[in-house]
């Protein structure tokens, strides 16, 4: 495809062969199950074939990044300081971003033990539901205008500047809203993973992009019909599990008419998530340093790595 001419393309087998040093997987099937997102699929073989070579590549990028920061500081006659290496992970809802983010955090912490790794999601920077209502954009939750981009940019700037403690708001999928006065605290990490559908998006009214702060970016890709199937399958399984909790936002659907609930999910996909994917998420794919493409069953069948 013409829009991918600046990427090297590799099959899973080709990618695996780039790093053949034997590395034991620091996970069991049980611990991997705890990491993966609900209804996502990943195996220990995937960890070995895809993610351990990726972590090795990131380790090389981090080494070069730190060397450049020291070189630049010497050139400018400034004291050397620790600047965090930020990894951005983007893609559609239900495509497996959170699995990739959590797995990378575990693997980076294991294979680069002398570096501190933290993870946050951009969900916390959504406007609270009350503010979305005030602005009349409840139906656009997840679209660029539903995020407090100024706060997100200020957060990333503070992290990059090495502030000792930086607060990130916390979003709860249980109540489907930002939790008031609750924060994740980012404490001068060497590596920060930031995961969200908007990590590669162009700003609507700011001159600074999220990607201006990221040092390596990954886009998790799949065909839209497949993502829709994963989205609906996840919804159906959640109806039988997490949604059964009376405190869950979707509890009323779990105890109501099942066909109506599933139709509601289909409508949300067609009216919100699919338009958002085509208008705001998919167009950012070619801004990523790496594209991980999935096919049936969440199987990774292609890795694309930016040439330049």
Domains annotated for the chain, with CATH where assigned, are 2-55+81-306 (3.40.50.300)
DSSP structural state of residue 126: B
Residue 97 is labelled as binding a ligand: yes
What is the Cα–Cα distance from 81 to 161, expressed in whole angstroms? 9
Angle at 161 (CA atoms; ends 66, 64), nearest 5 degrees: 10
pLDDT band at residue 245, thresholds of 50, 70 and 90?
A: very high
What is the Cα–Cα distance from 110 to 99, expressed in whole angstroms? 17
What is the Cα–Cα distance from 47 to 25, expressed in whole angstroms? 7
H-helix or E-strand spanning residue 263: helix 258-268
Q: What is the CA radius of gyration of the chain?
A: 20
Q: 133: which residues sit within 8 A by CB, 6+ positions away?
A: none
3 state DSSP class of 60: helix
Residue 9 is labelled as binding a ligand: no
Q: What is the pLDDT of residue 206?
A: 61
Angle at 99 (CA atoms; ends 277, 267), nearest 5 degrees: 35
Bridge pairing between strands 166-172 and 177-186: antiparallel
Q: What is the pLDDT of residues 40-74, one digit of tens each?
A: 788 888 999 999 999 999 999 999 999 999 999 99
Residue 98 is labelled as binding a ligand: yes
Q: What is the pLDDT of residues 118-131, one digit of tens each?
A: 999 999 999 999 99
Residue 95 is labelled as binding a ligand: yes
Bridge pairing between strands 299-306 and 7-10: antiparallel
Residue 94 is labelled as binding a ligand: yes
H-helix or E-strand spanning residue 48: none
Backbone angles phi, psi at 300, to 5 degrees: -80, 125
Annotate 224-236 with DSSP letters as a single string. HHHHHHHHHHHHH
Rounded to two decimals, the pTM is 0.94
Q: What is the pLDDT of residues 174-187, one digit of tens each?
A: 999 999 999 999 99
């Amino acid at each position: 495809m013409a829009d991918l001419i600046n990427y090297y393309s590799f099959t899973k087998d080709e990618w695996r062969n780039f790093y053949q040093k034997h590395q034991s997987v620091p996970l069991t099937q049980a611990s991997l199950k705890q990491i993966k997102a609900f209804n996502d699929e990943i195996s220990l073989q995937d960890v070995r074939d895809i993610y351990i070579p990726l972590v090795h590549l990131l380790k090389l990028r981090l080494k070069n990044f730190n060397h450049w920061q020291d070189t630049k500081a010497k050139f400018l006659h400034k004291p050397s300081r620790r600047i965090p290496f930020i990894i951005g992970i983007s893609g559609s809802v239900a495509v497996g971003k959170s699995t990739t983010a959590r797995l990378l955090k575990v693997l980076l912490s294991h294979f680069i033990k002398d570096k501190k790794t933290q993870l946050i999601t951009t969900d916390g920077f959504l406007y609270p539901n009350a503010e979305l209502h005030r602005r009349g954009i409840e139906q656009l939750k997840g679209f660029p205008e539903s995020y407090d981009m100024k706060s997100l940019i200020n957060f990333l700037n503070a992290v990059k500047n090495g502030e000792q403690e930086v607060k990130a708001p916390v979003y709860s999928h249980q109540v489907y809203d930002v939790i008031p006065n609750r924060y994740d605290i980012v404490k001068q990490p060497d590596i920060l993973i930031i995961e969200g559908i908007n990590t590669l998006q162009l700003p609507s009214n700011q001159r600074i992009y999220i990607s201006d702060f990221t040092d390596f970016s990954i886009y998790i890709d799949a065909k839209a019909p497949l993502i829709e199937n994963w989205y609906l399958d996840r919804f159906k399984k959640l109806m039988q599990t997490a949604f059964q909790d009376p405190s869950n936002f979707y509890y009323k659907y779990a105890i109501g008419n099942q066909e109506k609930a599933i139709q509601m999910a289909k409508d949300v996909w067609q009216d919100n998530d699919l338009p958002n994917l085509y208008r705001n998420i998919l167009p950012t794919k070619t801004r990523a340093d790496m594209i991980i493409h999935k096919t049936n069953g969440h199987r990774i069948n292609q890795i694309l790595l930016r040439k330049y």
